[in-house]
Amino acid sequence: MSVKISPRRWFGIAVWLAILGMPIANYLEGVAGPRTEAQQAALPVLPRLNLDSLSPTVRAEIERAYDQAVTHPRAASANGKLGMFLHAYGLLPEAEVCYTRARILDPESFRWAYFLGVVEAQQAKCPDAIRTLRASLLMKPDYYPAQLELGECLVVSRDWEEARRLYETVLQGHSDSAEAYYGLGRVKEAGKDPAAAVELFRKACELYPQFSSAHLALARVYLRMGKQALAKEEQGLAEKSPGKFPPTEDPVLADVGSLYSGPNSYLKLGARLGGQSQWKEAAEAYEEALKLDPRLAEAHVRLIYLYTQLKEVAKAEGHFRAVVNLNLKSAEAYFNYGLLLMGQGKTQEAEEAYRDTLKIDAKYSRAHNNLGFLLEGEGKLPEAIAEFQKALEESPNLSQAHFSLGRILVKEGKFDEGIPHLLRAVESADEATKPSYLYAVGIAFADLGDLENGLRYLRLASGKAAKEKQPELLKRIQDDQRLLEGEATAP
């Protein structure tokens, strides 16, 4: 088969051929792949897949991709997409087969060559990876992540001269590349040039102070130079950032990462669905996260709340027990458990749960608010008032606390203190709650003897209740509104 290459692309290719010292014939072999129809037909067989360790959701996604590859065996995109899914979940040998198929079917695609080179490198198949990554770079000469991947393979393969040329070229375009300085330092170290290696490793550490491998390399060279104190210092710096490596933005490989439905992706999905009040779907997302990591505190904590909303008491209690068994001191877990107990009418147990919440986090405003509500129900008004006040100290716009505190103060005849809290509650309430809060304001003004403001707020409450389609509340408001209108017009 023939490969058409534009004159503009030939310039970049020529530069890299010079850097890599590769004959043009080798380039054409690497990029074009098989050159006859018979060779092109010889695709490797799709791999057998063992997906038992993956969650049902992930298995279903991979099985769909596999079906597409079977249905469209000559489509590079279908084969490559299956490879990407397998790559994302660490099934590297299987991904390699799929990327090889995709590359044979579309030999001029940088993506499939690059992905294949990456999985070969990840399996320590450096000779294969070097050939594949060279070919990918001849298609996209300036792709920095591919340059670094190739450089690592060259160093591992002890191809010092090509590694030197590569890293020097990378530094011409990326003078801030800590990895390139580190790679070139390894070349110099192997070439028995410790002074140059030290300077290069030091530059890598300056650019990325947490670069543990560069600190270790510097310690190693210092030891060989007999500089024990400096070696010990670098060893200590390496131990402060174990395994840290400079982050590299790789937008092409990011497409593979985006397919990975790891615990964090399910946590994000659950949070989004929960924010839209899709309780069942959110719970399913958090359960998927727990299949991947059963110790995920955030998932257990949120599921207590979600199963409370879904009225699935046993499941909510199960996730609370999981938090306790994991010895996780989570204020939110105890607060959510308090909500579950309140919903069952277990007020004493709920009160204990809220007090446990506050032992963990004394500033948990919603726990103060709900504890105040329970204390009010027990007739312990001074204690309830204190809890509402604590809630407002931490969350000045907490409408429920303003409402509850205002209502108690009004009942005690402290209108000057209570009505402002009721008005603050109206300001910060959601639309569904505003009708009842406006109703309370109207009644408070009426009890004060201010019929004008009483009627004004009852009319506002009536309009809001109608808009929010709350017929029972609307009827009560209108009944009181008629009574006040009668008083207002009485002689």
Residue 437: per-residue pLDDT:
95
What is the DSSP code (8-state) at residue 405? H
177, two tokens? 């590349």
Shared domain check, 146 and 113: yes
Does residue 362 sit within a domain?
no
Q: From CA 319, how far away is CA 314, in angstroms rounded?
A: 9
Does residue 267 sit within a domain?
no
Does residue 155 sit within a domain?
yes
Residue 262: per-residue pLDDT:
72
By residue count, the chain amounts to 491
The percentage of residues in the chain with a pLDDT greater than 70, rounded to a whole number, is: 91
Shared domain check, 193 and 161: no
Confidence tier at 16 by pLDDT (50, 70, 90): low
Shared domain check, 186 and 127: no
Q: From CA 361, how far away is CA 352, in angstroms rounded?
A: 14
Query: Residue 149 maps to which CATH number?
Result: 1.25.40.10
Amino acid at 229: A
More confident residue, 242 or 204: 204
The answer to which of 186-195, 262-271, 342-351 has the lowest mean pLDDT is 262-271
Shared domain check, 96 and 31: yes
Does residue 410 sit within a domain?
no
Task: Indicate the residue among 225, 247, 269 that finishes a domain.
Answer: 247
Q: Residue 489: pLDDT above 80?
A: no
CA contacts within 13 A on the Cβ side of 383:
11
Mean pLDDT confidence for 412-425: 94
Task: Indicate the residue among 160, 178, 196 that finishes a domain.
Answer: 178
Q: Residue 314: pLDDT above 60?
A: yes
Full domain range(s) for residue 239: 179-247
The answer to whether residues 418 and 406 touch, using CB atoms and an 8 Å cutoff, is: yes
Residue 412: per-residue pLDDT:
93
Shared domain check, 138 and 159: yes
User: Looking at the 3D structure of the chain, how many domains does it have?
Assistant: 3
Q: Residue 248: pLDDT above 60?
A: yes
Does residue 195 sit within a domain?
yes
Query: What would the pLDDT profile of 280-305 be if each residue is shown by its tens digit?
Result: 999 998 998 898 888 899 999 999 99
The answer to whether residues 214 and 200 touch, using CB atoms and an 8 Å cutoff, is: no
| Residue among 103, 158, 95 nearest 130 (CA) | 158
The answer to whether residues 21 and 162 touch, using CB atoms and an 8 Å cutoff, is: yes
Shared domain check, 239 and 162: no
With 0-12 / 13-18 / 19 or more C-beta atoms within 10 angstroms meaning exposed / middle / buried, residue 453 is: middle
Shared domain check, 173 and 80: yes
Shared domain check, 223 and 97: no
Mean pLDDT confidence for 139-159: 95
The answer to whether residues 187 and 201 touch, using CB atoms and an 8 Å cutoff, is: no
Q: From CA 303, how far away is CA 413, in angstroms rounded?
A: 42
Task: Indicate the residue among 247, 264, 294 that finishes a domain.
Answer: 247
Residue 9: per-residue pLDDT:
47
